[in-house]
Amino acid sequence: MPLPNEERVSRRENAQDLAYQQLREWIVDGPLEAGEVVRDTEVAELLKVSRTPVREALIRLAQEGLVDFARGRATRVAPLRYERAPELYQVGAELDSLAADLATPHIGERHLEQMREILRRMAAETDLSRLRGMDEEFHGVYYECAGNSVLIDHLNQINFELARLERVAFRDAQIRAEAHREHLAIIDALADRDRERARLVAWQNWTNSWERIHSRIATMLTDRPVPAARQPGATVRMLFPEGVPPVAGSVPGPP
């Protein structure tokens, strides 16, 4: 059967990956919020690609639950799945505490110093996207030391589902300060080679995170309605208020 040449296939795949990665980053890390209309024409123009790879990227994102995509209706950023959050945090707490337990005998001073350095960077950081990435990097140090790939895969999936909710936490300075103290407690337990305490403080970090975010969500649902559809061109202005969109080759992928 006739097949497209390799160069054409490569260009199409690269364009779809570009659109997928950039849209995913905008949804997970901002500035796209739940309920925002996403217009494929505007995204295609912004990224200097055709509409086809953008539509294909939106289908992939719909399969991941990040956009609501249906023929004949506006494509929107999916609402936050608040009803799943308690269960995700419950399971995440158990898995993270298991990772801390398994990591304790294997973690070395270089790992502990790496975690301390991440906390120092987090204390000086204000960008929400980078803060969330650093938080995952912090936990990822002892995930790797746990040496269980199945455990890591499950934790990564849970963290992915919670990413947009976590943006709520990183907006609040008090929440960041409380999380910082809990992270220090994790480091201390790992440094003391105390498996039981490491397991406990990792579990507390997750359960306390849910309590904090639950409180913030309640406030948001009272004070902030879901964004209404914006006027044509709003996607570009929202993403790049300075009016200088990136060229296709320079758009970074997700963190």
Same structural domain, 125 and 61: no
Same structural domain, 122 and 234: no
Give the DSSP H/E element, type plus range, for residue 77.
Answer: strand 76-77
Same structural domain, 95 and 25: no
Domain that holds residue 66: 6-79+227-250
Per-residue model confidence (pLDDT) at position 222? 62
- Give the Å distances, CA to CA, from 226 to 45, 79, 85, 202: 26, 8, 18, 33
Same structural domain, 167 and 236: no
Per-residue model confidence (pLDDT) at position 218? 74
Q: Cβ distance 46 to 5 under 8 Å?
A: no
Per-residue model confidence (pLDDT) at position 244? 40
Same structural domain, 10 and 128: no
Does residue 201 lie within any of the structural domains? Answer: yes
Q: Count the domains in the chain.
A: 2
Does residue 255 lie within any of the structural domains? Answer: no
Q: What would the two tokens of residue 143 be?
A: 């995930």
Does residue 138 lie within any of the structural domains? Answer: yes
Does residue 89 lie within any of the structural domains? Answer: yes
**Amino acid letter at 155?**
L
Q: Which residues contact 76 (CB under 8 A, 6 or more apart)?
A: 35, 36, 37, 38, 67, 68
**Amino acid letter at 57?**
A
Same structural domain, 17 and 105: no
Same structural domain, 96 and 191: yes
Whose tokens are 């995913």? That residue is 24
Same structural domain, 39 and 122: no
Q: Is the dihedral of CA 33, 34, 35, 37 positive or negative?
A: positive
Q: Give the 3-state secondary structure of residue 166.
A: helix
Mean pLDDT, 10 residues at a time, over the chain (255 residues)? 38 78 87 87 89 91 86 84 89 98 97 98 90 94 98 94 82 90 98 98 96 79 47 41 40 34
Per-residue model confidence (pLDDT) at position 7? 43
- Picking from 223, 240, 78, 57, the residue whose alpha carbon sits closest to that of residue 161 is 78
Same structural domain, 71 and 97: no
Does residue 10 lie within any of the structural domains? Answer: yes
Output the domain CATH number for residue 154: 1.20.120.530
CA pair distance 193, 136, nearest whole angstrom = 22
Output the domain CATH number for residue 38: 1.10.10.10
Same structural domain, 193 and 234: no
Same structural domain, 92 and 122: yes
Does residue 173 lie within any of the structural domains? Answer: yes
Does residue 117 lie within any of the structural domains? Answer: yes
- Picking from 131, 154, 23, the residue whose alpha carbon sits closest to that of residue 78 is 23
User: What pTM value is reported for the model?
Assistant: 0.73
Does residue 1 lie within any of the structural domains? Answer: no
Same structural domain, 116 and 94: yes
